[in-house]
Amino acid sequence: MAKGSNNAAWILVVILAVCFQVVFVFADCRQTATGTAIDFSKSYFLLDDDLEKYLCSDLAGDEEMSPAAAYLQAKADEASERGFGLGMVRQTIYHVKAETLSQDDESATIHLHGLRRTCIHPVFAYVAKLFRIGQTHEFEETLELTKEDGRWKVCGAPYGLSLEG
């Protein structure tokens, strides 16, 4: 009899674990201002083509005139001038700390602080760490976000992006 109740306990644990997993997946999919600010920063430093999707309509221009396209083109030009591909100027960010300075239903101000490093193969990163080569740089930015069509978007001049420059 004890064996049967032991199996029932394990089945109950598995069912509860699956239910909690479903709840956690839905909670993780919810978009927040802080999450959008961090995702935008990752996309900015990794030189992702989808950088434009995080920008508000004030910063979004047409395909070739947008600040995001101009930034990506400038980075591609910088890499080619140095004799590298675009991958050598990509950077990854880590140890990101986000502080919400202000937030209401339609706008938010998020301050980010973290570290960035040139994005290289993980094996090379480990070797660089062993021999203390490669540089880590701090970054700090305050991002203004607004809600457009129910989604958080970055506005202002994040990391110096603007329609003028």
**For the chain, domain boundaries:** 1-30, 31-160
* 151 vs 2 pLDDT, higher one: 151
Name the residue with higher pLDDT: 104 or 66. Answer: 104
- The pLDDT of 1-14, averaged and rounded, is 77
Residue holding tokens 């480990």?
126
Beta strands (DSSP E) in the chain are: 91-103, 107-118, 136-148, 151-155
Using 50, 70 and 90 to split pLDDT, how confident is the model at 63? low
Q: Count CB atoms within 10 A of the CB of residue 40.
A: 25
Greater pLDDT, 111 or 123? 111
pLDDT digits (tens, 9 = 90+) for 72-96: 899 999 989 988 888 888 888 989 9
Q: Which residues of 103-130 are buried (b: 16+ CB within 10 A; e: fewer)?
A: eeeeebbbebebebbbbbeeeeeeeeee
Radius of gyration from C-alpha coordinates of the chain = 21
The predicted pLDDT at position 1 comes to: 46
Per-residue model confidence as pLDDT tens digits over 115-140: 998 877 777 777 777 887 778 889 99
Contact (Cβ atoms closer than 8 angstroms) between residue 37 and residue 110: yes
The fold for domain 31-160 equals: Nuclear Transport Factor 2; Chain: A, (3.10.450)
For residues 90, 43, 103 and 25, what is the CA-based torsion angle, rounded to 10 degrees? Answer: -130
Confidence of residue 15 (pLDDT cuts 50, 70, 90): very high
For the stretch 18-61, pLDDT in tens is 988 888 887 767 788 899 999 999 999 999 988 888 998 887 76
Long-range contacts of 150-154 (CB under 8 A, 24+ apart): 151/31, 151/36, 152/31, 152/32, 152/33, 152/35, 152/36, 152/108, 153/36, 153/54, 153/55, 153/56, 153/57, 154/36, 154/37, 154/40, 154/54, 154/55, 154/56, 154/59
Per-residue model confidence (pLDDT) at position 2 = 55
pTM metric for this prediction: 0.78
